[in-house]
Amino acid sequence: MKKILAVLVFAGLILSLHIVNTFAAPGKSKGPGSATDNQSKEITITGVVTMSNDGKSYIIKETKNPNWINKIWFLPAASKYKYNEFELLEVEATCTRRGDSIVAIRSLKPLFKEQYEAKLAELKAKAAEEKKAAAQKKK
């Protein structure tokens, strides 16, 4: 009976220590890759740029980093980059993040230059067609 009581007391002590450690330091860092809400951190994201479901904003779906595989990052609307040039292409983005959101993009480079150049040519051709159609419509 004493042995059972000792085991129960020991298990209760271990459980209480676990609970105390869980709630003792809520501001404790979550690891080397985490940033708290008020800190900014530079990160590199490798992923595919696509249009989000709302049709107004662009996202990058992470493909390389094992910590964030398949994580979706919303790209900031205010940027010097035209995201439609990178749509459906795999890119490497150097970003400033705060918490779980990207606040600024420092660089955005396509991983496959040939695909990017083909996309640019396609966009230029589409713009030329639209311009030609608008000119014919005016006549």
Q: Which residue stretches of the chain have pLDDT < 50? A: 31-32, 35
Please report, for the chain, the start and end positions of each structural domain, with discontinuous segments joined by +: 40-131
**Per-residue model confidence (pLDDT) at position 49:** 92
* Fold for the domain defined by 40-131: OB fold (Dihydrolipoamide Acetyltransferase, E2P) (2.40.50)
Q: In the structure encoding, which two tokens stand for residue 19, read together?
A: 């609970």
List, as one string, the DSSP characters of 22-68: HHH-TT----TT---TT-EEEEEEEEEEEE-TTSS-EEEEE-S-TTS
| pLDDT given for residue 30 in this prediction | 52
Whether 61 contacts 53, CB under 8 Å: no
Encoded tokens for 71: 């994580």
Q: Which two tokens stand for residue 77?
A: 């609307």
For residue 92, list its beta bridge partners.
46, 109
Exposed/middle/buried for 33, CB within 10 Å: 0-12, 13-18, 19+?
A: exposed
pTM assigned to the model: 0.62
Q: What is the pLDDT of residue 66?
A: 82
